[in-house]
Amino acid sequence: MAKIRVAVLFGGATKDHKLSLQSAFSVLNGLSKEKYDITPIGITKKGRWLYFPGDYEEIRDGSWENNSDCCSAIISPDPIHAGIITIMSDGDTAIKRIDVVLSALHGKYGEGGRIQSLLKLSRIPYTDCNPDTASRCMDKLMTHSLLSEAGIAVPDYTSLSRSELNSIDEQIKEIEKSFTYPVYVSASSCSSTIGANVAHNAEELKTAAKIAFSHHHTAVVEEFLSGRSLFCIASGGAYSVEISSIGETVKTPCDNKYAVYTADFIPNAKLSPEEEKEIKEVAKKAFKALNFKGYAKMCFCLTDGRILLRRISAIPGFSPESSMPILMGESGYSYHEMLDKFITQAIEG
């Protein structure tokens, strides 16, 4: 039986570059060498695409791009090529056929629809969501709006625009009519923790907005939530959606002078049957409402009896200690079975 030809994308010209390397290292080691013909394609911090034929340890330590056996590589948008064009230093080219792409590219360039659009043009199956879904989920403001329209509860939110920076004081006064401090401020189209801050007063809100503006032209202002942080993985397609076990991040105060608390991830959160049922139903509803395929990490907050969908990650982390492999493991999938499931979903459409 012929091996399935899978390309693994990693790196990227984003602040999530290191995280992507760790995800890719885990994926590359988790794929069966007997079942798959694996082609690693890395993108440097400067945006150069390289075919990497070396030891995967070089990906984990970040030295991969200096390997002398690397050569330029691009995904051809022409479906007749059905794969990757490698370009040697002397200008010679070759085509590597690909059956499916698994992307470990985190951040806005990997999760925001650009790579997905290229793969759509090339007609190569890929494991994550379609371009429109990716771009919507990378934009927090749009995600909140679409989820609200679908009848899914999200945190109370509003926005500030960089184009109206001259009137930010007046905008903040309007926000203060509807929100009480503290509030959570983040860049609308960016990874969840990049450019994000908690503001306790008007001056801090202005500062937080300006930090968010350095990453995107829109800042999202949300009610500050102090309830339970819950997570699950939704996977499948339009007609069949599977929801993983529900995990929880539990924060414990500590005496370490360099940290306020430690965070532990519990793969099976203690919830009432009604709470568990509602979270899984909402996750499935959101997956369908946003026209997902592949997989997504759903981030919830349980606070004051409310279950709010806070964030959706289109390409969660693949490292063994990341929530997706842990939650899929709790749901009965070993690491390599999880990868097999995602690849099979992609190929079967």
For 180-224, what is each residue's pLDDT tens digit?
999 999 999 877 667 789 999 999 999 999 999 998 899 999 999
* Contact between 23 and 317 (Cβ < 8 Å): yes
* Contact between 159 and 140 (Cβ < 8 Å): no
Domain 4-126 has CATH 2.60.40.10: no
Q: What is the DSSP letter of 181?
A: S
For 297-308, what is each residue's pLDDT tens digit?
999 999 998 999
* Contact between 65 and 51 (Cβ < 8 Å): no
Average pLDDT over residues 55-66: 96
Q: Return the pLDDT at 124.
A: 97
What CATH number matches the domain at 137-153+226-348, 3.40.50.620, 3.30.470.20, 1.25.40.340, 3.10.400.10? Answer: 3.30.470.20
Q: Return the pLDDT at 260.
A: 54
Whether cis (ω within 30° of 0) applies to the bond prior to 325 is: no
* Contact between 183 and 198 (Cβ < 8 Å): yes
Average pLDDT over residues 264-280: 95
Q: Residue 272's pLDDT band (boundaries 50, 70, 90)?
A: very high
Q: Return the pLDDT at 349.
A: 82
Q: Residue 107's pLDDT band (boundaries 50, 70, 90)?
A: confident
251: left (phi over 0), alpha (psi -120 to 50) or beta: beta
Fold of 157-223: Dna Ligase; domain 1 (3.30.1490)
* Contact between 13 and 50 (Cβ < 8 Å): no
Closest CA to 49 of 71, 79, 27, 26: 71
What is the rounded CA–CA span in Å between residue 231 and residue 300? 6
Q: List 94's β-bridge partners, or say none.
A: 86
For 116-169, what is each residue's pLDDT tens digit?
999 999 999 999 999 999 999 999 999 999 999 999 999 999 999 999 889 999
Locate the domains of the chain by residue range. Answer: 4-126, 137-153+226-348, 157-223
Q: What percent of the chain is modeled with pLDDT above 90? A: 86
Residue 298: count other Cβ atoms within 10 Å of its Cβ: 25
Q: Return the pLDDT at 134.
A: 93
Q: Return the pLDDT at 194.
A: 74
Tokens of 322: 């990341």
